[in-house]
Structure 1
Amino acid sequence: MKEKQSLIEQHFLKLLEAHRFREITIKMICEEAHINRSTFYSYFLDKYDLLDRLIDHHLSALNEMSTQFLTGLEEQGDRHELSKAFLKDQFQYIYDNKVFFKTLMTVHPAQNFTQKFIQMLRVNYLRMIENQNIQYAEYFVNYTLGGQFGIIFFWLQNDCPESSEEVADIVYRNILKTNR
């Protein structure tokens, strides 16, 4: 069962690389995935449902990483090493799902994805720094997110030439202001 759903999602992403979302039809998805319309509709209501579920899946996975990071901070407390590991894991996830992120951020940007992605990051960063006595925390987080989003965009747009570890280090050093 899950196999067919994954097949539909993969072929939908392949279509998204070549076509704008509004141009893609259920017929195109079914032809690309070599399935019947009834098979598509047994998993998804329509193409909007398919896109929303893909977005929710990836944002939930990234959100879970943030939750695990926060739990680790409470239990262990070594903020620097945990932060580096968290950023590396986050960028590795983006790299492992490069087609999805690259397509929705750079090839055919999806505004609803970008807004949800940035909001999820914002909420998690605010949670991460809530006990850090940072002046104007909202401004710091928004500034940091603007830079991080720009780095993610640039990295994806250039087909991820650096490793996830290298990009995580770039972001980490910029957050600490040691790379300016």
Structure 2
Amino acid sequence: MKPHTAPDKIWHAFLTLLAGHSPDDISVQQICDVAQVHRSSFYRYFRDLYTLADYGFRQVAEQTMMSAPDARSTLLSTRKFIDFVDSRRHELRHLLTARYANRFQQAIYQPLEQHMLSVFAMAGDSYIHPAPPEYVARYHIGGLARIISIWLQTPNARKAELIMQIDVLARYMMKDCMKKEL
């Protein structure tokens, strides 16, 4: 799908440049040249590459995960997010090996955490874990994030293995945090 807005053009240009470069080697001017926008457009929407990554992964999450109407569709919507990660695997691997990789990792995993919080919020009285939902979501997303990170950095890892591991962790999380009738 062709991006229509300046932020979307900038995000897609960033992904295009990631195919051949580490984020440490990508300049704002390069991104703007590929996106065919003026440099001031970049700074109108983003402070730096990290806020660009945050924006991009929030967009991906809105298109994939945030459409889940209930806890049961969480696994399916998370798979859509994983499909995006898989389709951009080579580019995203560069984000995990950059100088400030932990900041880029946050951009990738924060939408997963927000999604889990929204699932817990939708559960209402069905949420049974004694800890606050924010802590529980961070705890469980930490496990998912580690699996995704290792998977992205392993050249021969298969998508089916990743989905199976994420399914197991997500089902455990749902069982641990919610009543059975969900």
Which TM-score bucket, shorter chain as reference?
0.5 to 0.7
Letter in 1 for 2:130: Q
Given that residues 8 and 40 in structure 1 are in contact (C-alpha distance below 8 angstroms), is that contact kept between their aligned partners in structure 2? Answer: no
Q: Which residue of 1 aligns with 2:118?
A: 127
1:128-143 to 2 correspondences below 5 Å: 128-130=119-121, 131=123, 132-136=127-131, 137-143=133-139
In the alignment, which of 7, 13, 21 is matched to residue 16 of structure 1?
Answer: 21
- The equivalent residue for 1:176 is 171
Q: CA deviation at 1:152?
A: 0.4
Q: TM-score, normalising length from structure 1?
A: 0.66
CA distance in 1 between counterparts of 2:147 and 2:58 reads 18
Would you say 1:152 and 2:152 are equivalent positions? no
- Counterpart Cα distance in 2 of 1:161 and 1:52: 29
Question: Aligned partners of 1:156 and 1:122: how far apart in 2?
Answer: 19
CA distance in 2 between partners of 1:120 and 1:87 (Å): 10
Give me the whole-angstrom Cα distance separating, in 1, the residues matched to 2:39 and 2:67.
35
Note the alpha carbon deviations across 1:110-157, whole angstroms, 9 max, x for none.
443323333332222111123222221333222211100000000000
* Deviation, structure 1 residue 10: 5.0
Normalised TM-score (structure 2): 0.65
SS of corresponding position for 2:148: helix
Identify if the C-alpha distance between structure 1 residues 85 and 11 changes in structure 2 by more than 3 Å, giving closer, same or farther: closer
Structure 1 Cα separation of the partners of residues 107 and 47 of structure 2: 15
> Where do 1:3-82 residues align within 5 Å?
8-10=13-15, 12-17=17-22, 21=24, 23-25=25-27, 29=30, 41=39, 44-45=42-43, 49=48, 52-69=51-68, 72-73=69-70, 79-80=71-72, 82=73
Distance 1:51 1:129, change over 3 A: closer
Asked if 2 retains the 8 angstrom alpha-carbon contact of 1:122 and 1:145, the reply is yes
**How has the CA–CA distance of structure 1 residues 120 and 42 changed in structure 2, closer, same or farther, with 3 Å as cutoff?**
same
User: Closer, same or farther in 2 for the Cα pair 1:41/1:101, shift >3 Å?
Assistant: same
Query: Which consecutive unaligned segments of at least 5 residues does structure 1 have?
Result: 74-78
Give RMSD over aligned pairs: 3.8
Number of residue pairs matched by the alignment: 161
Q: Give CA-to-partner distance per residue, 1:76-121, whole Å, 9 cap, x none.
A: xxx44x2331222121111112133211123554443323333332
Which of 140-149 and 109-118 deviates more? Answer: 109-118
1:15–1:24 CA contact under 8 A, matched in 2: no
Contact 1:102 1:156 in 2 (8 A): yes
Q: Which moved more, 1:109-118 or 1:137-146?
A: 109-118
Give me the identity figure in percent. Answer: 16
